């Protein structure tokens, strides 16, 4: 059995997802650093450093984790699969077009010309662009 490779759309979405992940990591590190800097500025010698860090660090870590989790798009490939499935189902309902592979609509979107005989029938049974 042949293993299917990622389509161009899937490759682009994986790349976009990786960029979102990198950006969210950088953003959460910046937020963490700024939060620690704000704690050091507001410390001002009134309380001991250890008690302030112990009391504020769980809040800061909670904020950083929430920011990171909301920024990482783990559902992006899932959303692609659901949207392709929905469009294939609609094509079958409306036009009675049966599509076996979800990658086919993406490949059909790239076609510029279809060469066929004068009766409109594809003679070889395969489409080449």
Residue 103 lies in a domain: no
Predicted confidence at residue 16, as pLDDT, reads 83
Q: Confidence class of residue 68 from pLDDT cuts 50, 70 and 90?
A: confident
* Dmax (CA) of the chain: 90
Predicted confidence at residue 71, as pLDDT, reads 78
| Dist CA 7 CA 24 (whole Å) | 26
Residue 117 lies in a domain: no
Number of domains in the chain: 1
- The domain containing residue 23 runs over which residues? 8-71
| Dist CA 7 CA 4 (whole Å) | 9
Among the listed ranges 9-23, 38-52, 87-101, 115-129, which one has the minimum average pLDDT value?
115-129
Contact 31, 64 (CB under 8 A): yes
Residue 80 lies in a domain: no
Query: Which carries the bigger pLDDT value, residue 54 or residue 75?
Result: 54
| Dist CA 19 CA 73 (whole Å) | 10
Predicted confidence at residue 14, as pLDDT, reads 79
Percent above pLDDT 90 for the chain: 4
Q: Is it the case that residue 78 has pLDDT exceeding 70?
A: yes
Q: Is it the case that residue 1 has pLDDT exceeding 50?
A: no
Residue 31 lies in a domain: yes
| Dist CA 3 CA 99 (whole Å) | 19
Percent above pLDDT 70 for the chain: 74
């Amino acid at each position: 059995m042949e293993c299917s490779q990622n389509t161009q759309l899937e490759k682009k979405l994986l790349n976009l997802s990786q960029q979102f992940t990198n950006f969210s990591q950088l953003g959460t590190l910046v937020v963490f650093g700024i939060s620690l800097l704000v704690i050091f500025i507001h410390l001002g010698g009134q309380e001991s450093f250890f008690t302030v860090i112990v009391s504020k660090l769980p809040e800061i870590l909670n904020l950083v984790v929430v920011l990171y989790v909301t920024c990482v798009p783990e559902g992006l490939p899932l959303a692609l699969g659901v949207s392709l499935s929905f469009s294939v189902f609609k094509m079958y309902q409306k036009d009675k077009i049966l599509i076996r592979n979800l990658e086919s609509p993406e490949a059909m979107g790239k076609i510029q010309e279809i060469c066929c005989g004068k009766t409109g029938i594809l003679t070889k049974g395969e489409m080449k662009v």
